[in-house]
């Protein structure tokens, strides 16, 4: 058989393909090889795993949301949102299987001297990968995995912690970097050696969001940075906001400055403030909120989600299938296991 490794074949007069019955199709071939199946009476193309009908395929809309990062502790920064990746037109071949994994949110710091954790990556196939959000920085600067106050990089970066060490401002209290196109950086923390510090209180920066950076902390007792805003996505006929950054905490109770970002970001909590709503929202990839009170853990990042949508009735299989307004949806939530979508 002559190998034909091209995506499309345009013929003006005539073309003779190698012919096989379905039972005798070659077990080994190169991706893109084209043959004629005499049993099915159709052209087939080898896609790397099966011989798929060459004329059979359709376009998807794909949304991939990674797990959000956990918040930092004791004047901690907010966790960065999980990366948000949207593809409005992705062609799939009927019968092809695509790997699907939805990332979990990262744990928030459990207390003083404990680190925060990044969220897990989410992916669909080989070309749609969103990175987990970065964990928020801590007040503690004595190592032990606490990153010396600095927010961790991720899909969106974690906010820096409100630290009290003289070497931290340019190296440690900064927010972590986000991945361009899927998220933004976290805001910087505020501490003793921040330029302009006047003793009004430490504060953590906000975690980065999918459509904007986390806010820097400010020099006041309630100066935790607000989490970065999430990204509004319309997939099929449904619109929602994903990837809000977690709020950084100040030393005083919660306030408007340390709210989580729209799109599931958890709230930062001050010294005596409520710690409700500190966790990022599952399914939206929100970052966890930072906390001050040593008796409470920081907010956990929200789990990610993957949604596949296409026009018309059901054509593929995998995930939780629903239909609405002329669109078909396959939704995948975090399970801890690799699964598939079959086109």
| pLDDT, tens only, 184-239 | 999 998 876 666 666 666 889 999 999 999 999 887 767 789 999 999 999 999 99
pLDDT of 194 = 65
Which of 283, 284, 286, 264 minimizes the C-alpha distance to 333? 283
CA 39 to CA 24: how far, in whole Å? 10
- For residue 39, count other CB atoms closer than 10 A to its CB: 11
CA 106 to CA 63: how far, in whole Å? 20
Percent of the chain predicted with pLDDT > 90? 54
CA distances from 14 to 9, 10, 281 (A): 12, 10, 58
- β-pair partners for 100: 124, 339
Paired tokens of 22: 């379905």
CA 1 to CA 24: how far, in whole Å? 13
Helix ranges (H only) for 113-179 are: none
Q: Would you list the domain boundaries of the chain? A: 1-55, 57-343
**What average pLDDT does this structure show over 260-284?**
84
pLDDT at 114 over 70: yes
> Do residues 205 and 78 make contact, with C-beta atoms less than 8 angstroms apart?
yes
pLDDT band at 7 (very low <50, low <70, confident <90, very high): very low
Paired tokens of 94: 């009927």
Collapsing DSSP to helix, strand or coil, 149 comes out as helix
DSSP letters, 311-339, are ESS---B-SEEEEETTEEEEEEE--SS-E
pLDDT of 22 = 86
Pick from 116-125, 200-209, 283-292: least confident: 200-209
CA 82 to CA 76: how far, in whole Å? 18
H or E segment and range at residue 115 = none
The chain-wide mean pLDDT, for the chain, equals: 85
CA distances from 297 to 79, 102, 209, 236, 251 (A): 13, 24, 22, 38, 15
Label residue 17 left, alpha or beta by phi (over 0 means left) and psi (-120 to 50 means alpha): beta
Question: What are 140-174's pLDDT values in tens digits?
Answer: 655 555 666 889 999 999 999 887 665 555 455 78
Residue whose structure tokens are 């600095």: 150
Paired tokens of 51: 């011989």
- Count CA within 13 A, CB hemisphere, residue 194: 29
- For residue 240, count other CB atoms closer than 10 A to its CB: 18
pLDDT band at 274 (very low <50, low <70, confident <90, very high): low
- For residue 4, count other CB atoms closer than 10 A to its CB: 16
């Amino acid at each position: 058989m002559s190998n034909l490794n091209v995506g499309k074949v345009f013929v003006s007069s005539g073309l003779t393909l190698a012919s096989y019955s379905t039972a005798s199709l070659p077990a080994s071939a190169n991706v893109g090889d084209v043959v004629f199946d005499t049993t099915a009476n159709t052209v087939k193309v080898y896609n790397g795993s099966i011989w798929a009908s060459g004329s059979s395929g359709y376009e998807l809309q794909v949304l991939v949301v990674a797990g959000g990062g956990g918040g930092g502790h004791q004047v901690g920064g907010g966790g960065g949102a999980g990366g948000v990746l949207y593809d409005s037109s992705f062609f799939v071949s009927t019968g092809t299987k695509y790997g699907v994994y939805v990332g979990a949110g990262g744990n928030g710091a459990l207390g003083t001297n404990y680190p925060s954790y990044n969220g897990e990556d989410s992916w669909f196939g080989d070309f749609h990968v969103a990175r987990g959000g970065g964990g928020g920085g801590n007040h503690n600067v004595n190592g032990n995995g606490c990153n010396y106050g600095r927010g961790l990089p991720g899909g969106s970066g974690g906010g820096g912690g409100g630290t009290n060490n003289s070497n931290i401002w340019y190296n440690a209290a900064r927010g972590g970097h986000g991945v361009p196109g899927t998220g933004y950086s976290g805001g910087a923390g505020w501490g003793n050696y921040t330029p302009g510090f006047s003793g009004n209180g430490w504060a953590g920066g906000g975690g980065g969001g999918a459509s904007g950076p986390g806010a820097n902390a400010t020099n006041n007792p309630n100066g935790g940075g607000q989490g970065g805003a999430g990204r509004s996505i319309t997939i099929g006929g449904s619109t929602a906001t994903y990837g809000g950054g977690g709020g950084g905490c100040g030393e005083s109770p919660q306030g408007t400055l340390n709210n989580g970002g729209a799109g599931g970001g958890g709230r930062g909590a001050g010294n005596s403030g409520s710690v409700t709503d500190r966790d990022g929202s599952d399914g939206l990839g929100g970052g966890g909120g930072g906390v001050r009170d040593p008796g409470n853990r920081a907010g956990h990042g929200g789990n990610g989600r993957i949604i596949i949508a296409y026009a018309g009735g059901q054509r593929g299989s995998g995930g939780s299938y629903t239909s609405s307004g002329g669109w078909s949806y396959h939704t995948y939530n975090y399970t801890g296991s690799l699964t598939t979508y079959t086109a």
